[in-house]
Structure 1
Amino acid sequence: METQIVNFRDRYDNLALSVISNFVKFSQNVSNAREEEQRKLKYIEDLAKRIAETEAQMALVAAENLKVQEKKKKDLQKNAELRAKLKQETIKADDMQSAAQRERSRIEKEEQLSKNIQDKVNVFLKPYHDILGVTFQSSTGSEASLRLIFQMPNGKKCVVKLAKKGLKIVKCTPMLKDLEKLEAQLAKTNDYSGFVIHLRSLFMNEFTS
């Protein structure tokens, strides 16, 4: 009987020890499972936080990229406008340069033509200068005219202009008499040679007397 009791106690003790051991293991497993779950939750929370931060950074990058693209678009548009304006200004400058070149060519031709005419006039008028003793000068102003100058050593002179309607007295120091009548007579007769000879005679008589 005692042996049975001892065996029962031993089985009880072993069972109790086994139950306690299993409970301890279960408690450890539960604790480990909780710790693992907490680690997983912490990892998930950290991962979600990192994802949110990454998404926020991506949103900032996207916003900056959008600004860059908009600025690039505006810069390209501005560049295109400047190129178009530069092209217009270049065309305008080329046109102005061409016009200036044409004007220079026209002036050069006119100057050359004027020089040729002046040379021919000088050749044509030289005998009159030698015979009549008068000086012929072409006007340098806007009006095309021919002037005859009677010059005396004492500073007395008479300037006669060849105008469309005939010879006109421009300046005479001292003033000769009846010049208006001479001009009227020339308009009727158109005798330039006689007019010049007669005027020179009056001029010489008046200034040498």
Structure 2
Amino acid sequence: MVFAENLTSAAIPTFNSSACRSFSAAHGLAVRSIAIEVEDAELAFSTSVAHGAKPSSPPINLDDRAVIAEVQLYSDVVLRYISYKNPNPPENTNHPDSWFLPGFESMDEGSVFPVDFGIRRLDHAVGNVPELAPMIEYVKGFTGFHEFAEFTAEDVGTSESGLNSMVLASNNEMVLFFFFFFFFFLENPHQNDVVLVRTILNRPIIHFRRSL
């Protein structure tokens, strides 16, 4: 177990400025970490690595209140495990401990930044991957998730493009992972469709869909 105070002054101790610049340069405004709450982040990390996950950050203790750990999900996107020493929030829901990880605090109402961005709920987030089948087998292997749904170009497509996707779910189906492989049907006989698709999808961006 590593303690955050020995690593960095950043609120998220896995933050690395050079990695941040590299990620932003490659993907622009995108999501690098997908976080899920688990009972024991340290155990989730060690179990995942034992079953083939590529480690990104070992378990880190945050102010003896929470533990985070990360494994590689796909490309430079990571899956972050979070567990709380006290999973039950304080009775006073106005207390910051009921909202944030250690190191974060509420914003001053007088801040120039808006407190409310209008987001109430995310229906789902989607990860674009350059190769769907290997990604699915990799994630299934270290999470134990099962195939929940599958969509092909016949389900979601146009005359010019198509979409293959797979949804993985946890045992209780409370956590779902959406992975997409997007492709174009090209008329140019000199264009290699697969090369073009992989060039496009080298930008693994999480797309957020607003719930209606």
TM range, smaller chain: under 0.3
Give the structure with the larger strand fraction.
Answer: 2
Q: TM-score, normalized by length of structure 1?
A: 0.20
- Larger Cα-atom Rg: 1
Give the structure with the larger helix fraction.
Answer: 1
Q: Which has the higher contact order (CA 8 A, sep 6+)?
A: 2
